[in-house]
Structure 1
Amino acid sequence: RNMTFSVVDVGGQRSQRKKWIHAFEDVNAIIFLVALSEYDQVLIEDGTTNRIKESLMLFSFICKCGWFEETSIILFLNKKDLFEEKIKRVALGKCFPKFNGKQTYTGKAD
């Protein structure tokens, strides 16, 4: 059986989010990407909001949004290799102050 897939990258910047609505009509699935390695970075738009926390907020919004009640939502965590190296140098507690585990890759993303 032949299948056709359309993939639309809607962009992650806040200014791009207003353009998303037209892309969501009749979607079967959403693949939401989050870069693990960005836990110590802030948004370009405001210079203060943590990127991972912003991603978590946006993912939560999408999951709770009525438009997507019948839509499969896939969370894809990428940049594992960069995360694995960065966690040796930059404490995960920078983003998650309550985290008190070991500063190693093993067990964090698997």
Structure 2
Amino acid sequence: MSQLDIDIANTILSQLGGNRFIAMTGVKRHLLLAIKNGLQVKLPTRFAQKGINCVQIILDPSDTYTMKFIKLKKIKFDYSSEVISEVNGVYWDQLQEIFTEETGLNTHL
């Protein structure tokens, strides 16, 4: 992972609310992962609505984000994933609102 990807992931986490986001959603720090141009958040199992247990937020070239809400399933020794919903063209100040709409989890008090 490049330093740029880590910086993007840290920026997204900050825009989601940083430590308040972590506290309100029950996310463990070791389940936050910098991915190519974004951040992946693994949520506690059966915590969010629609079975969502993973969220990917990716920075697009247009300086907006794509948010993918995913249901990961473990089948024996392998994982399968199902994208529950995807929201494109998200501005930084919409991240918290869309996260809450899709998962049912608040990002702040």
TM-score when scaled to structure 2?
0.26
Q: Which has the larger radius of gyration?
A: 1
TM-score by length of 1: 0.26
